Chains A and B, each alone.
Chain A
Amino acid sequence: MAQHANSENPNVNLAYRRKKNAEEMKRQVISFVLMILLTLIAFFAVGYDKFSHWFSIPFILLLAIVQVMFQLYYFMHMSHKGHEFPAIFMYGGVFVAFLTVWAFATIVWW
């Protein structure tokens, strides 16, 4: 019960939450820096003439997917608990999205 006493004191609780929020914000800034880096690499990969497009196109697509994961799991808080249904909805959407793009890309292949 001694541990419980702390969480029932609203002021202690507030200080704890502020600290947690500040730590969370630090992680958000780090993911922002990484997203900027991924963007810079993608633009550089396209601007650099010596890469063939057989390399650069899959490469920048991969960078985009990584960047979107940062956006979803950190900026949109999908890494927090209580996001099981959002994950089902998003992955359901991504599955249909993937099928649609796959179908259209292969139908014009020849």
Chain B
Amino acid sequence: MHVEEKLTAETFPAEPERATLEGKNKFLGFWFFLGGETVLFASLFATFIALRDKTAGGPTSEELFQMPVVFVATMLLLTSSLTSVYAIHHMKNFDFKKMQLWFGITVLLGLAFLGLEIFEFYEYVHEGLKYSTSAFSSAFYTLVGLHGSHVAFGLSWILTLMIRNAKRGLNLYNAPKFYLASLYWHFIDVVWVFIFTVVYLMGMVG
């Protein structure tokens, strides 16, 4: 199928993200990138695991971490992962408006998550955990901060796609773009699952 083909719900392909050569290439390339991201985050997780007890007299994770904040953040991000699944579901049904709506909800949930994280970092700095306080603090802010910047990037990516294509509607040119943005968003949630487990929950156990 061709990128510029005018489509209706009847002629829209079942897998619009891979119906064109460009879409197929993007799909492969993006998964390759996610494999690389896995390695990048692993190196930061490894550093954090090695240094998590080296607090150099500064605050420890047991003193800092609050279960309710982490729990709410986890629920927000997990739910936003489901809402972007809904968006892609409507994309496959060729329902552009519903896709935009669910991506919009995803963005709102992501913003709430990001706000919570900024508030959390602000609290930690006030309790004396600065970036250079200890090996633990540097490893913590680098790992969780890089995840937060992924959230910020993912939000601007989805928003840009939504605004840029608002009047264009759905076609085989932008379907792969929306699809990959949602993959990226799920990957952010994958990383968060390990962050809340390894950094927060293990930090509270000691």
Q: What 1/0 flags go to B58-81 for Cβ under 8 Å of A?
A: 000000000100010011001001
A46 touches B205 (CB 8 A): yes
Q: Which A residues are in CB contact (< 8 Å) with B149?
A: none
Q: In the assembled complex, which residues on chain A have CB atoms less than 8 Å from the CB atom of B193?
A: 64, 67-68, 71
Contact, CB under 8 Å: A28 / B89 = yes
Tell me if B11 is interfacial: C-beta within 8 Å of chain A: yes
A90 engages B9 (CB within 8 Å): no
Q: Which of B159-206 contact A (CB under 8 A)?
A: 183, 186-187, 189-190, 193-194, 196-198, 201-202, 204-206
Q: Is B3 an interface residue (CB 8 A)?
A: no
- Chain A interfacial residues counted at CB < 8 A: 51
In the complex, the answer to whether A100 meets B42 with C-beta atoms within 8 Å is: yes
Please tell me if the beta carbons of B71 and A43 are within 8 angstroms of each other in the complex. Answer: yes
Q: Is A110 an interface residue (CB 8 A)?
A: no
Could you tell me the distance between the alpha carbons of A17 and B91 in the complex, rounded to whole angstroms? 12
Tell me, yes or no, whether B125 is within 8 Å of chain A by CB.
no
Minimum C-beta distance from B41 to chain A (A): 8
A71–B93 touching, CB < 8 Å: no
* B204 / chain A contacts, CB cutoff of 8 Å: 46
Residues of A within 8 A of B31 (CB): 85-86, 89-90
The reply on B86 being an interface residue by CB < 8 A is yes
- Closest Cβ of chain B to A65, distance in Å, is 9
A39 CB contacts on chain B under 8 angstroms: 74-75, 78, 196
Asked if B197 and A105 sit within 8 Å, CB to CB, the answer is no
Stretch at the interface among B32-40, B106-114, B115-123: B32-40
A71 to B37, CA, bound (A): 16
Cα(A94)–Cα(B28), bound, Å: 17
Interface residues of A in 19-48 (CB under 8 A from B): 20-21, 24-25, 28-29, 32, 35-36, 39, 42-43, 46-47
Q: Nearest CB to that of A10 among chain B residues?
A: B10
- With A56-B205, A90-B35 as given contacts, are A100 and B81 in contact (CB-CB < 8 Å)? no
Could you tell me which B residues sit within 8 Å of A by CB distance?
9-11, 14-15, 18, 27-28, 31-32, 34-39, 41-43, 45-47, 49-51, 67, 71, 74-75, 78, 81-82, 85-86, 89, 92-93, 183, 186-187, 189-190, 193-194, 196-198, 201-202, 204-206
9 A-B pairs in the complex with CB atoms less than 8 angstroms apart = A21-B89, A43-B67, A53-B205, A68-B190, A89-B31, A93-B34, A96-B38, A97-B41, A97-B45
